[in-house]
Structure 1
Amino acid sequence: MKTDFIIVGQGLAGTLLAHELIKSGQSVQVIDSPNFQKASAVAAGLINPVVFRRLTKSWLIDDLFPKLEETYAELEALLVTKIYYPTKIRKVFGSGEADFWQKKSAENGLSSYLRITPDDSPYNRLKLEHGSGWVEKAGRVDLQSLLNGFREYLIQKECLHELNFDYSRLVIHSDRVDYGDLEAGKIIFCEGHRASQNPFFQQIQFKHTKGEVFRVQANNYNADFILNKAFFLMPVRNNEFRMGATYDWNNLNEITTSDAREELCEKLEQVFSGDYKITEHVAGIRPTTHDRRPILGLHPEFSQVGIFNGLGSKGCMLGPYFAKQFSDMLIDKSSLIHPEVRLSRYC
């Protein structure tokens, strides 16, 4: 079977790139293992345009935000399912933090994103001793609905191959690649943290992180905003929330731990006085790089082989913008990729 592109992996990166290529009239075949857990499948899908630690705008957010809104709206129409939920973030302040927000928001061009409410009245079961601030342009992406819906879309188009990819079976020619009965102009690897085992991209300095998140039931808490104070508590549906996330650079596995549970519960109870119950606890490995920037580009020796990876914990913000950039470059070789995400920084 001939196709323009083979995409290996149907996590967030593979899904978004496939969408952009198909939208541009390209033929795509996706290879994805049904046995591998994806970080995207357990991620909370948080959209936060602000770096709280320094109180600055997230990298490229003024460019990223319009594209993510456009892309998720397209996918909602295509898949006939709700994916993107604009939701404000309520940041619980510590001592002196309200003054810091007031100062920095004026300095760093954040006025369109932030709102400060220093004299908070008590809200439900929250402890707001020092007040709180609001991030107005924020939200969440329902990654389960996105990935499952797009998978069904690929199946209906007869574009999905559910199997484990075997690098030894890939044959590279001067003008194409062959894999089994597939013949394509290019193959693009979107494998998440498993790219560390990809023999074509051993030069990349990955720095993967393990993250653990929870599903929480809080029957007497009905907030319609995302709570944040060194963790997030994100509404999903009636009295149901996602809570996270931890960061572990040493134990790169998908095993849940009691340490992570204790860490997040302790943080929650510092600002929340209500009863809650943990109903789900999952772990995944975020595909991140040493400089926390995505990776996209074509292999320097084999121009038929490419990679789209490294979206990390901000993948729902970064993914749509860079999937579009990469798709444009793959179709129109004169189209440029942002210099900070180019594969050429490694090889």
Structure 2
Amino acid sequence: MRQVDYIIVGCGLAGISFAEKLRANSQSFMVFDNSSQQSSLAAAGLYNPVILKRFTPVWKVKEQLKIALPLYANIEKDLSIKIDYRLRILRRFSSVEEQNLWFTASDKSTLEDFMGLNIVKNTNPLIDAPFGFGEVLQAGRLDTEELIRRYKAFLIKEQWLVSERFDYQNLQILEDQFVYGDLVSKYIVFAEGFGVKQNPFFNDIPLNGTKGEVLTVRIPQLKIDYAVKSSVFIIPLGNDLYTVGSTYNWSDTSNLPTNEAKQELLTKLKSFITSDVEVVNHVAGIRPTVKDRRPLVGRHPKFHNMYMLNGLGTRGVLIGPYVAEQLINHIEFGESLDEEININRFL
């Protein structure tokens, strides 16, 4: 029998963030993942401190940035990879009224660190932006595909990953430990994203799936090194490639890309990018979303060493490390969970 401190089910942004917290605490763990959930892989990876539709701050964004950026920097150092790219985000204004709303918002103490004070004039002939842009500060892009691919390879090398479906029926729940095959663990954390809908221990939690689709496009003439937010985001990847996203579908729960979403994204993109566009890739994933737009973190009501880490929604790059720290501090040091994320609010 192999003894570990934790079993983690799921190797997306939530599972990786929690594994990193365990590594920092020198605690042993085993991760189970069968690559069935695609939301982290299909994510654009943009981290942005401002809700650009309403010019309001992202929930707890200062705390999230303080935790997330060092965590990703540590992964880059330990795995000798590059995944965090600081990036300007320019919010395209559609009117003078939007310009005024931007200036009003940027004066607020919660936003002054994240919103530029000057209108950025458009100098690119292929972008239709007669009213210019507002610049978002302290933003960037995390290469989530590279992160997950390389982190799984790291876990395999360390013999910390089992690449198979977790069979809930084979989990033996004892008084103070769990037994799964030849593995014995004190704790188990389910970080499965939308896959939790198949989890008999937490399937009554009100987590919904929101399908998102993104395109990778080639636009050789565009030549921008900043992201633009208008009716959709366009995010530079280098080599004339850009990510365009994202869509929101609350009824389709498949990971299959759709032509309807592709056409929606292209139509919105061409409303402000006046250039030919070549689609080179199209992916989809189901985001784990919650009706109150807050994560789902906490202990099972019956099994006291069983936990959930889920519901990261559309902002998992920043939220993942924050809620992982909340959970490990709750388990190991008895700290109270933020009531806004505690699953007790639904139990």
In the alignment, is the contact (CA less than 8 A) between 1:154 and 1:160 conserved in 2?
yes
Q: Deviations over 1:123-157 (max 9, x none)?
A: 24111112211101111100111111111111111
What percent identity do the matched residue pairs reach?
A: 35
Instruction: Work out whether 1:92 is the aligned partner of 2:125.
Output: no
The residue number in structure 2 matching 1:207 is: 208
Instruction: Work out whether 1:142 is the aligned partner of 2:143.
Output: yes
SS at match of 1:122: coil
Distance in 2 (CA, whole Å) between partners of 1:281 and 1:121 is 29
The residue number in structure 2 matching 1:339 is: 339
In the alignment, is the contact (CA less than 8 A) between 2:37 and 2:195 conserved in 1?
no
TM-score by length of 2: 0.96
Cα distance change of structure 1 residues 140 and 121 upon mapping to structure 2, 3 Å threshold: closer
Distance in 2 (CA, whole Å) between partners of 1:119 and 1:162 is 48
The residue number in structure 1 matching 2:41 is: 41
In the alignment, is the contact (CA less than 8 A) between 1:120 and 1:131 conserved in 2?
yes
Cα distance change of structure 1 residues 37 and 309 upon mapping to structure 2, 3 Å threshold: closer
Instruction: Work out whether 1:257 is the aligned partner of 2:275.
Output: no
Q: Deviations over 1:306-331 (max 9, x none)?
A: 11000011000101111112122222
Distance in 1 (CA, whole Å) between partners of 2:247 and 2:206 is 22
Distance in 2 (CA, whole Å) between partners of 1:17 and 1:109 is 28
Amino acid in the other structure paired with 1:142:
D
Distance in 1 (CA, whole Å) between partners of 2:122 and 2:23 is 50
SS at match of 1:128: coil
In the alignment, is the contact (CA less than 8 A) between 1:57 and 1:108 conserved in 2?
no
In the alignment, is the contact (CA less than 8 A) between 2:39 and 2:285 conserved in 1?
yes
Instruction: Work out whether 1:198 is the aligned partner of 2:199.
Output: yes
Distance in 2 (CA, whole Å) between partners of 1:8 and 1:120 is 47
The residue number in structure 1 matching 2:68 is: 68
Q: Deviations over 1:158-204 (max 9, x none)?
A: 11111111111011001000111110001111111010121111231
Of residues 45-54 and 109-118 in structure 1, the stretch that sits farther from structure 2 once superposed is 109-118
TM-score by length of 1: 0.96
Amino acid in the other structure paired with 2:175:
S
SS at match of 2:116: strand
Amino acid in the other structure paired with 1:262:
Q
* Superposed displacement of residue 53, structure 1: 2.2
* Superposed displacement of residue 37, structure 1: 3.9
In the alignment, is the contact (CA less than 8 A) between 2:20 and 2:71 conserved in 1?
no
Cα distance change of structure 1 residues 144 and 206 upon mapping to structure 2, 3 Å threshold: same
Distance in 1 (CA, whole Å) between partners of 2:120 and 2:158 is 55
In the alignment, is the contact (CA less than 8 A) between 1:47 and 1:141 conserved in 2?
yes
Q: CA RMSD in A?
A: 1.3
4+ runs deviating over 6 angstroms: none
SS at match of 1:306: strand
Give the count of matched residue pairs: 345
Unaligned stretches of 5+ residues in structure 2: none
Q: Deviations over 1:231-288 (max 9, x none)?
A: 1111111211111000000111112112111111111111111222010011100011
SS at match of 1:336: coil
